[in-house]
Amino acid sequence: MRNFIPALASTAAALFAGHAEAVAANPLPKPANITWGTAGAFSVGTLSLKAPDHDVLQDGFARATEAFSELNWIPQATEAPARKFEAFPTPTGTASKAKRQYGNYTGSLTSVNVQIADTRAALQHGVDESYTLEIAPGSSSIEITAETVYGALHAFTTLQQIVINDGSNKLIVEAPVSIQDAPLYPVRGIMVDSGRNFISKKKMFEQIDGMALSKLNVLHWHMVDAQSWPLEIKAYPQMTEDAYSPNEVYTHATISAIVKYAAARGIRILPEVDMPGHANSGWKQVDRGMMACIDSWWSNDNWATHTAVEPNPGQLDILNNKTYEVTGKVYKELAGLFPDSWFHIGGDELHMNCYNFSTAISSFFASGKTMGDLVQHWVDTAIPNFRAQANKTLVMWEDVVISPDAAASGLVPKDVVLQAWNNGLENIYNLTRDGYRVIVSSADFMYLDCGYGGWVSNDPRYNVQTNPNKTDGTPNFNYGAGGGSWCAPYKTWQRIYDYDFTQGLSAAQKQLVQGAIAPLWSEQVDDTVISGKMWPRAAALAELVWSGNRDATGAKRTTELTQRILNFREYLVASGVGAAPLMPKFCLQNPHECDLFLDQAALHTA
């Protein structure tokens, strides 16, 4: 039994005589089922916890109660109908805002009772995350049930968002409430790329904090890439010679600290070492002979001979036996550091031109073999080799099955989970049709790095002083088009939330969709900007994969999300997560006055 936060006075009276919409609290993600009563508010007193003795549970409760005690949160954006406007052409309207009034309280909450069916459930793919939370009229206790401690953590997170300050420094829950909640998908995540630019442990923790608050549960960590190798490998200590500096290295101790911090918040870490493409730094310190094209020009100015999509080039030589010895040892060491039963081995963006720099592979192609045959050799050799080191579920980018240039020519095992990033619904459909489990990361909807322009230097495309298409208005590189961002435009929170990624799938195909991960590639990301580029847009994904983007009638609820995500952004900032603003603060304070359409049902037929 642990006690937290000072007691607050309890008195009796009704708060609301109206409907559930009267409450200010608006937790994100929206629970699957939440029903507010009308009997009146509760003051929140000194909360004691009655629950199984479990460190994750006790620590989660301590974080939640500390948060609402220290933040003393007053919701910054609350839901209300759009105000009435005078008919055109009169330019002004009549405000309909009313200050929320809190009266006396019908009871005082003093305890949290938690029942958990299985306290030993491991934090692995598919762990039950459901929970219920009940505050009955007249009760002094908050009743929580969950199948596992991870469901209970989510209950604490919801509680954290519905305990608010009444405006006079008193903590309250506004009305009796009944919540039955569970996620739609077992994979709900973001991707952090520390290979292009280093991301500090502090900022990794910050992303994990944002994830926990929004009930995301998978941190896909793209740890290394061609540009740098910031990862300590004791089997090959020379690999970190290709870190950007000695201070920009993830030691075993650092990795363990990040894994522990995430696990305490119910978050799995899915590590990725991208192979055999995107390979240069680190690997070449072990044996340059197992590398291809690392000294070539990446050739963007002569695309027919390009060896990579971006500098710097390099790929592992698939026909060199040393490749499998080294990758096997690296995988084995990392598999021991990351307890998750899944491991990502990359597999994207292989380029045939790069392998023209390998004598063995050039002879392979000269014998009539194809790029698909080469990729199949990697699949047939690398996957059994990895599984012999540590038998985990392997995740790969979709390219290995569906790339028009570098898909394997034969069978890729159906127990490999594929991450879909190209061609939106089409690739999701094709992969699930073929029986593969899929993680959705469609670039057209979920790439958080898109729309910031290009980053390669010495680029004459920007040296244009007048619009060459001024007459007809056709978009071009510097005028209305991507400006060097291959996946432009910027993916707004609405774009993310509106994605119906199971559209057109059969029931059987839908069962194969494991969820979604929003990647943030780091060519233009480091500690100074990562949180603003990640948050609060990732929270739109969080609700999409937790409870969906439609209401009980099947109508899209994107407009309903507006005030919820604006408030959540403020909550993130107050909690130490550097989330970017989505709109002028005027929009936050004046519900729906920044909508494009006054018709609140404009999205309902979408």
**Active site residues per annotation:** 349
Tell me how far CA of residue 152 lies from CA of 119, 149, 178, 290, in angstroms: 10, 5, 15, 48
- C-alpha span between 489 and 486 (Å, rounded): 9
**Burial status of residue 599 (CB atoms within 10 A of its CB: 0-12, 13-18, 19 or more):** exposed
Residue 221: closest CA among 198, 241, 246: 198
Please say whether the beta carbons of 38 and 18 come within 8 A: yes
Interatomic CA distance for residues 447 and 442, integer angstroms: 7
Query: H helices within 338-458, ranges in order?
Result: 359-366, 371-389, 399-402, 424-433, 443-446
Query: Where do we find the tokens 């096997």?
Result: 328
| CA dist list (Å): 30 to 267, 550, 563 | 19, 11, 12
Q: Which helix (H) or strand (E) holds 427?
A: helix 424-433
Taking each helix axis from N to C end, the angle separating 371-389 and 359-366, rounded to the nearest 10 degrees, works out to 130
Q: How far apart are CA 36 and CA 22, in angstroms?
A: 9
Q: Is there a contact between 506 and 434 (Cβ–Cβ < 8 Å)?
A: no
d(C-alpha 140, C-alpha 12), whole Å: 13
Contact 30, 565 (CB under 8 A): no
From the DSSP assignment, how many helices (H) and strands (E) are in the chain? 17, 21
Give first-to-last CA distance, the chain, whole Å.
Answer: 50
Handedness of CA 75, 76, 79, 80 (dihedral sign): positive
**Phi and psi, residue 61, nearest 5°:** -65, -40
Tokens 């899209």 -> residue: 556
Nearest in space to 418 (alpha carbons), one of 409, 407, 286, 166? 407
Structure tokens at 380: 């047939």
